[in-house]
Structure 1
C-alpha cells in the first residue's frame, strides 16, 4: 500500500504542471509569422522560375491553406505544459495523459526535410547578390524591411530571376519559419548564406524553426503565474497577459487538432483532416 502511494507521488511530480490548475490565467497572443498571410508570393517570382521555387524544400509553403491562428488553443496547451520535460520537446498533461510534441511531428506536419547537419557555407562574390540588389548592401535588415521588400517586388522588373528566388526563399525562412518581432533584425549571416544557394537548400531550417518555437513557448510560461499575479497587484484593471509567439506555431495547433480528442469541436474550428498536415 505504501509502495503504491509512493509511486503515485512520483508520477504526480513527474507530470507536475508548470502552472498549477488553480493558478491558470487569461492571455492574448499575437503572431509574428507571415505564414498564410502572403497570398502573392509565387506571383512575385518570374513565371520561368515559379516551378523551380515550388520544387525547393520550402516551396510548398508559398501555397498555404486557410488556417486561422488560434491563441486560444495555444494558451490551453501551454497552461497544461509539464514542468519536467526534455529541453527539445513540448509535453502536455491533458486528462491524465501526456502528449508529446517532437521534431518528428513538426516535420511530418510541415513536410519540411528533417535535416540536422549544418553545411559549411562558401562565401561567394556579391555580384548580383540579394543584399546588393534589394537592400543596397545593407546587412542589418529587419523582418519588417524584408516583408516590405517582398511585397513591393514587381515581377516585371528587370532583375536576375535567381536573385528573386533567393529573396523569396529568404522571406520564407525568416518571415515564416524563423519569424520574430517585426522590428528585430534577421540573422545577418542569412544574407550571405543565401548566395551559396545549394548549401542554403540543405540547411536544417526545420530544426531551427522547431527549436525557436519550442524555446519561445517554454519562455512564455516561465515564472508564471507569479508575473501575472504581480501585474494584477500593480494594476487592478490588468486583465490579460499579452504574449508574442515566434516561428511557426500553426504547426502546434494542427498537431493538437489531430492528437487531442474532442479539441477541434470544442474550439469551434472548421479544420478537418484525417492526417496531421498543413498541406493535405
Structure 2
C-alpha cells in the first residue's frame, strides 16, 4: 500500500507486543511543561517526545508549510468531502457510512457485512478510515467518530496527503495530559491514541530497554520510521523496567535522531516559563548526567572550565509524578484493533 497507511499496516502486522508497563513507567515520570508536547524521565534523564520525535517514530504525513495546526486550503464554497457523496433525487448516498452516528465498531460491521455490495473505490475509502480511527487515533470503539474525519476519506487522494501527524500527535498529547495522579493510582485506566508510538520511541531511546525487551531489525535503514525498525517486542513486568531504570549508567538518548535536522522546525517554541528546564536539558545534551539528587534538590552543580565545581542554581518549573506500580492489563485499544480488526480490513479490501 503506497500511502502513509502502508507503514501503519506493516507495523500492525508485525509481532510487536504492547507494553502498558513501559508506557505507565513513563507516565509516572512525566515532566509537566507549559507547551503542547510531551517530556518524560527515564533513569533520571529527561527525554523529549515532541512532534518532531513523533514523526521520526511514525513517519506520518505532516503539513509541509509548518508544524502548526493543519489547515487544508480549499475554495471558499467547495465541499470536496461530499463530491462523491451527493444525494441525487431520491438516490441513496454513495458512502452510507459517512454520518454523525458511526462508531469504530459500526465501521467494521459495515465493511464486514456490506463490502461486497460496495464499489472498489468506496471500499478503499472505508478501509482507509479504519486504520486511522482504530490504530492511530484509537478512540473508545463505542464513541461516535468525528464526522470531519469520515468526510476526509471521500477524497482518498487528499485523505492520504492530509497532515495526520499533527492530528494524531495532538490527540495523543491531549490523552496523556488527561491522565492525572488519580488515574496513575488505579489498577487500570484507559489511554487512547497511538500509544504504541511512545513504547517504540522509548525502546529506541534507551539502549538497555531495546536490548532487553525488543529485537531490532539490523537490516533496516535508519531512514525508515522507528516503528518499522523493530522485528518484535515484549511486554515486561514493572519490576523488570524499574531494575533497568535504577541500574548504573543507563544510556539514554534525550533527543532521538539528533543528527536528523529535517523536522527541527516542528519542536514547539520555547515557553519562557520552561527556561530553567530547557537550560538543564541543554546541559544533558552536552553530556551532563542528571541524578535523583538533582531532581529532589531542584538545582545542579556543573563544571566551568578548570575553575572547579560551582553551584549553578536551576529550578525547573516541573513536577515528576511517581507512584507505586501495580499490575495492569497489557493491552491498548490500538493493539486490539491491530490484532482483531486489521485482518478483516485487509481481507475485505483485496
Sort the TM-score into its range (normalised by shorter chain).
0.5 to 0.7
* Contact residue 203 and residue 209 of structure 2 kept, 8 A: yes
Whole-Å separation in 2 of the counterparts to 1:170 and 1:279: 21
Aligned to 2:9: 62
- How many residue pairs were aligned? 208
Determine the C-alpha separation between the residues in 2 that align with 1:175 and 1:257. Answer: 23
Post-superposition CA distance 1:204-240 (Å, at most 9, x none): 11211111111111211x2x15984xxxxxxxxxxx4
Give 2:111's aligned residue.
150
Structure 1 residues 113 and 225: alpha-carbon distance in aligned structure 2, compared to 1, 3 A threshold: same
Tell me the distance in 2 between the aligned counterparts of 1:227 and 1:86: 21
Q: Corresponding residue for 1:178? A: 137
**Aligned-partner Cα distance in 2 for 1:79–1:136:** 40
Give the distance between the partners of 2:169 and 2:97, measured in 1 at CA. Answer: 31
Give the corresponding residue for 1:278.
Answer: 227
Q: Which residue of 2 aligns with 1:191?
A: 150
**Runs of 5+ unmatched residues, structure 1:** 1-53, 229-239
Deviation at 1:261, TM superposition (A): 3.2
Among 53, 56, 81, the alignment partner of 1:108 is 56
Would you say the 8 A contact 1:89–1:214 is kept in 2?
Answer: yes
CA contact (8 A) 2:204 2:226 kept: no
TM-score normalised by L of structure 2: 0.53
Aligned partners of 1:132 and 1:138 also within 8 Å: no
Q: Gaps (5+ residues) in structure 2?
A: 230-350
1:233-244 alignment to 2 at 5 Å?
A: 240-244=186-190
Measured at CA, do residues 225 and 174 of structure 1 come closer, stay the same or move farther in structure 2, by a change above 3 Å?
closer
10, 23, 40: which one aligns with 1:92: 40
Partners of 2:98 and 2:25 in 1: CA distance = 44
Report the Cα offset of residue 180 of structure 1: 0.8
SS of the residue 2:189 aligns to = strand
1:72 is matched with: 21
* Aligned CA-pair RMSD: 2.8
Contact 2:168 2:193 in 1 (8 A): yes
Corresponding position: 1:215 with 2:215: no
Contact 1:118–1:203 (Cα < 8 Å) also in 2: no
Tell whether the 8 Å contact from 2:95 to 2:122 is kept in structure 1 after alignment. no
CA distance in 1, matches of 2:183, 2:111: 41
